[in-house]
Amino acid sequence: MISILSNVYAGVIALAGEAAEQSSSGWFGDLWNKLRDDFINNFIAKDRYQYLLKGLGVTFEVTFFAALLGILLGIIVALIRSSHDKLADELRPGFFKVLLAVFNALSNLYLTVVRGTPVVVQLMIAYFIIFATSNNKVLVAILAFGINSGAYVAEIIRSGIMSIDIGQFEAGRSLGFGYIRTMIYIIIPQAIKNVLPALANEFIVLIKETSVSGYVGLQDLTKGGDIIRSRTYSAFMPLIAVAAIYLVIVIFFSKLVTLLERRLRNSDR
Amino acid sequence: MIAEKGDVIISVKDLKKYYNGEAIKALDGITTDIKKGEVVVVIGPSGSGKSTFLRSLNLLERPTSGTITFNGTDITSKETDINKLRQKMGMVFQHFNLFPHLTIMKNMTLGPIKLRGMSKVEAEKRAKLLLGRVGLQDRADAYPSQLSGGQKQRIAIVRALAMEPDVMLFDEPTSALDPEMVGEVLEVMKQLAKSGMTMVCVTHEMGFAREVGTRVIFMDCGKIIEENTPEQIFTNPQNERLVSFLKKVL
């Protein structure tokens, strides 16, 4: 923030100097000209806007598929963890109970490791160690961010499942629905509705987290802006542009979620 | 097997439910038969195990030992598909437990469509008939949160009836209601009893027990203390615990 301000300040000083020399146009006009030249130099010249456009495409691609993977993983892990708690009494000792206990332990390990380490480190481990032989940066990023997001989604969904009154579960079972169908028709729809704001927040975080993709050389939106900066030696335009694009995406997405929430709230009137 | 009136529909033998090893005996050896067309009312002080008993009948509580036979099938057996049997045992809860994310119509048709494979049209036709029976046909598209407590409980009853059960279990169906709404729910239950439905009802409504019940079971400390016709229970109680209980509630 400070560097941006000082940048603007430096720009303004320089402009003021130029303005003094060129008496033909006013001070404001010079600032305008300077910004316009800056803009043209950073984005239009040599089609540099392509870096941002392509980067934005990559950011979308990684975020979208990582979110899908995260939801899938999250629901599976949440179901394993809450089933392990809920079915402890009902299940008789046997193969299935042991299997569930094993999966539960694996889920706990997954949550601990993923939530206990920074996403940048996970991304680098994925790219430089686990998939060292792969050159598909997008795919590796999708896997790394998806696996990371899945851990947070799992806990969000599990808290949603736990927040549903036990009576809902009993009502479903007493009609004759099995455990899984009670979950699908009765518990999960209510749970998702309750955690929608938290889920939306997780995806807003995810969009922004993908900005560390540059660490493995993936040219996402942030990296695109970075490349422009390294070509033009001007920080102001590319960074502000990148920030503004993220901001617009997040605002648009938040609006979308608000609309969805309003629709789902029909039953609360 | 189609049970005739008077045939035993649920048979309970030496049912026990212990918590913490044997520290807490919620049910301590219950044995009774419930016959087709009976309206069995279970009364007793709180903590006597009457709700646990009722919830054991469809295995919402898993008994520690003992057997429950429903329509000739031992439901406590490992091989029994409890989900199949629960379809034939309707249950009504103290707190209604309607599905808040579904409309009344969907609450009532979810089971018939998904579990009994009924078509949507057929399920909705039947649901409308049932809603008419409880005077709520105009609320089909409402959500549960838009209904009063009494209306919710009437919907909960017809939701269970939509599965066309052989027996209806009521777990204190009027205890969570405002006093002025108790009557409308009891009226529905009375109609149901008149139609010949087999009912097991845990309740504090002694008036209902006396008027509608064909048999009253008095429980205390996880045991059946006394079991008789309402007439005998209320006018000629034998056990002293029943006498003192009735003194408090009547």
pLDDT in tens, B70-103: 999 999 988 889 999 999 999 999 999 999 999 9
Least confident of A156-160, B17-21, B55-59: B17-21
Q: Do the beta carbons of residue A237 and residue A43 sit within 8 Å?
A: yes
Q: In what order do the strands lie in the sheet with B223-228?
A: B89-92, B167-171, B198-202, B39-43, B215-220, B223-228
Q: Do the beta carbons of residue A190 and residue A258 sit within 8 Å?
A: no
Q: How far is B246 from chain A (nearest CA, A)?
A: 30
pLDDT in tens, B219-236: 999 999 999 999 999 999
pLDDT in tens, A122-142: 999 999 999 988 889 999 999
Q: What is the spatial distance between Cα A13 and Cα B140, in angstroms, rounded to a whole number? A: 71
Q: What is the DSSP string of A117-179?
A: S-HHHHHHIIIIIITTT---HHHHHHHHHHHHHHHHHHHHHHHHHHHS-HHHHHHHHHHT--H
Q: Mean pLDDT across the stretch A188-207? A: 92
- Chain B residue numbers with beta carbons less than 8 Å from the beta carbon of A175 are 86-87, 110-111, 115, 159-160, 163
Cα dihedral across residues B131, B136, B138, B139: positive or negative: negative
- Whether A26 and chain B come into contact, CB under 8 Å, resolves to no
Question: Does the pLDDT at position A211 exceed 90?
Answer: yes
Question: Does the pLDDT at position B125 exceed 60?
Answer: yes
Spatial neighbors of A54 by CB under 8 A, at least 6 apart, are: A219, A224
pLDDT in tens, B6-52: 789 999 999 999 988 888 899 999 999 999 999 999 999 998 999 99
Sorting pLDDT into bands at 50, 70 and 90, what band is A1? very low
Q: Say if residue A51 is exposed, middle or buried (CB neighbours under 10 Å; 0-12, 13-18, 19+).
A: buried
Question: Does the pLDDT at position A7 exceed 70?
Answer: no
- Chain B residue numbers with beta carbons less than 8 Å from the beta carbon of A178 are 83
Q: Which residues pair with B202 in a beta bridge?
A: B42, B171
Q: What is the spatial distance between Cα B212 and Cα B50, in angstroms, rounded to a whole number? A: 19
- In this prediction, what percent of chain B has a pLDDT beyond 90? 89
- Interchain CB distance below 8 Å, A269 and B100: no
Sorting pLDDT into bands at 50, 70 and 90, what band is A35? confident
- Chain A residue numbers with beta carbons less than 8 Å from the beta carbon of B163 are 175-176
- Chain A residue numbers with beta carbons less than 8 Å from the beta carbon of B103 are 267
Report the residue of B75, B97, B155 to disrupt the A interface, i.e. the one with the largest count of A CBs within 10 Å: B97
pLDDT at B21: 82
Q: Which residue of A has its CA nearest to B156?
A: A171
- Chain A residue numbers with beta carbons less than 8 Å from the beta carbon of B101 are 189-190, 193, 267
Nearest CB to B86; choose among A173, A181, A193:
A173
Token pair recorded at residue A200: 């939306």
Q: What is the spatial distance between Cα B186 and Cα A184, in angstroms, rounded to a whole number? A: 33
Sorting pLDDT into bands at 50, 70 and 90, what band is A88? confident
Q: What is the spatial distance between Cα A254 and Cα A248, in angstroms, rounded to a whole number? A: 10
Count CB pairs under 8 A between chains A and B: 74
Question: Does the pLDDT at position A115 exceed 80?
Answer: yes
pLDDT at A3: 53
Q: What is the spatial distance between Cα B152 and Cα B108, in angstroms, rounded to a whole number? A: 12
- In this prediction, what percent of chain A has a pLDDT beyond 70? 88
Q: What is the spatial distance between Cα A172 and Cα A181, in angstroms, rounded to a whole number? A: 9
Q: Mean pLDDT across the stretch A45-66? A: 91
Q: Do the beta carbons of residue B60 and residue A174 sit within 8 Å?
A: yes
pLDDT at A170: 96
- Whether A189 and chain B come into contact, CB under 8 Å, resolves to yes
pLDDT in tens, B172-187: 999 999 999 999 999 9
Cα dihedral across residues A13, A17, A18, A20: positive or negative: positive
pTM comes to: 0.81
Q: How far is B143 from chain A (nearest CA, A)?
A: 6
Please name the amino acid found at residue B68.
I
- Interchain CB distance below 8 Å, B97 and A170: yes
- In this prediction, what percent of chain B has a pLDDT beyond 70? 98
pLDDT in tens, A166-183: 999 999 999 999 998 999
Question: Does the pLDDT at position A163 exceed 60?
Answer: yes
- Interchain CB distance below 8 Å, A177 and B114: yes
Q: How far is A190 from chain B (nearest CA, A)?
A: 6
Q: How far is A146 from chain B (nearest CA, A)?
A: 29
Report the residue of A89, A90, A91, A175 to disrupt the B interface, i.e. the one with the largest count of B CBs within 10 Å: A175
- Whether B165 and chain A come into contact, CB under 8 Å, resolves to no
- Chain A residue numbers with beta carbons less than 8 Å from the beta carbon of B141 are none
Sorting pLDDT into bands at 50, 70 and 90, what band is A6? low
Question: Does the pLDDT at position A24 exceed 90?
Answer: no
